[in-house]
Amino acid sequence: MLQSTASTVRAQTILVLNSGSSSLKFGLFEAAKDGNKDDEVLLLEGSAQGIGRADGSLQMRSPDGTVKVQRDHLMESQTDALRKLAEVLAEHGHTRPAAVGHRVVHGGPNLRTHQRLTPQVLQLLKAAIHFAPLHIPPALDLIEHASKIFGDAEPIVCFDNAFHRSMPPVAAHLPLPQRYFDAGVIRYGFHGLSYESLVYRLGANLPKRAVFAHLGNGSSVCAVRDGSSIDTSMGLTPTGGVPMGTRSGDLDPGVLLYLMRTESLDADGLEKLLNSECGLAGLADGESDMQALAERIAHGDADAELAVDVFSTAVRKYVGAYAALMGGLDLLVFTGGIGEHSEDVRRRVCGGLAFLGISADECDGSSGKCRVMKAEEELQMARHCRRLLDGA
C-alpha cells in the first residue's frame, strides 16, 4: 500500500474506475492547487465502450473534450478493457496513481460508507455477493486486476448506495418480518454517487426540498431534504423502482409467482427476465435506446410511444409522491443520459406537474424550479478518494 504524507499525497494523481455492464468509464485527477482541498482537477477522462462486442472502442479525452486516443477493437471483458486503459495511460506518462477508486454498486448491509479496501473490507464484499450477484463479482475481478496492474496504488471502494444511508426507518424498512431486516433485506437505493455530485455542485443553492431524477439505462428518483436522501425508488437491488432500459422496475410480487408456476422459472431465470428483457425493451420489441425509440415514435410506432409514456409516467408518479412526502417541492433536477439529453422525456414528466409549479415549458432546465445537470460520478469518487488518502 502507498505510504506517504498528506502533503505529498495531495500532489499525486487518483484514477477512478466506473464500470457498467458493457462499459468502463475512467477519470484521472490531481489535487487542486488553489488551496481548495475539497476539489479535484481533471487531467484525462474517457471510456471503453461496447465491451464484448466487435465494435468496441476505447477513447481518452482531455478536459476540454479533445480526443487524445481513439482505438476501435474488441475488448473481451472489463479486465481486458482495464489492461488496454493502463497501456494508454502509460503511453501518456501516467503510470503511478496514488490511488485507484472503484465504484461498487452494492456492498451489502455491512459496507455502507466509502473506504479503503482492507482485507477485512474485501472479505465483507465477497460475503455480500448474494445481494448483487450480477454486480459484485465483476467488481471484485476488476479490483483484483487493478491491484496487479497499478502495483502499490491504494485501492478505495466507493459504494453507490452510501448516500442513502441517511434514509429514515420508514423508508429503509420493507414490509417483511423483522428477521429479514436483521439479515440486511432493506431498501438500499442506488445512483448515490450521482446524487452526491448534485448536492456538491448545488451547494448553498440547494433548496430544502428537492427531487433528483437520474434517468438512463438504469433509472431512479430520489427525495432530498436538506441535502440528505430520505427516500428513493430503487430498493434492495437496482432492479426496483421505475421501468428502465431492460429492467422491470416495481412489479406486483404475484407476477413473479405466476411466472414461477406457469413457466417454471427459477431464480436465475427470473433474474435474467427482470434485468435483461423487461422495461423499455420489453414494451418495445427489444429496443431500449431512448434515441432509437424517439425515431420510432416519429414514424408512428405505437409500441415505442407506449414504452416512453410508461417510463415517463412512472418518473412523474415518483416526483409527485416525493413532493407529497416533503410537503412540497422547491427543485426538480434531471440527470443521467436520458435526463440530460431527452427533452421529450423531460417534457412528458414535467407536463403533469403544474400543480407543483413546474411546467413543460421550463423542462430545458434554464429557469424556474427545473434544472438539467450532468452527473459527475467520477469527480465525486475522486473527492472521496482524496479525503481518505488524506486520512479524513
Question: How many residues can be counted in the chain?
Answer: 392
**Residue 122 DSSP SS3:** helix
Nearest CA to 333 among 215, 242, 217? 215
And the C-alpha cell for 157? 471502494
Cα 351 to Cα 359: distance, rounded to the nearest angstrom = 6
**What is the biggest distance separating any 2 CA atoms in the chain, rounded to whole angstroms?**
64
Torsion sign over Cα 222, 197, 157, 64: positive
Residues 6+ apart with CB under 8 A from 336: 191, 194, 213, 214, 215, 216, 219, 375
Tell me the C-alpha to C-alpha distance, in Å, between residue 18 and each of 21, 43, 76, 113, 294.
10, 16, 17, 17, 28
Catalytic machinery residues = 160
Cα 89 to Cα 341: distance, rounded to the nearest angstrom = 30
Helix (H) or strand (E) holding 309: helix 302-326
User: Exposure pattern of 341-375 as b/e (b: 16+ CB <10 Å)?
Assistant: bbebbbbbbbebbeebebebebbebeebbbbbbeb
The one-letter amino acid at 358: I
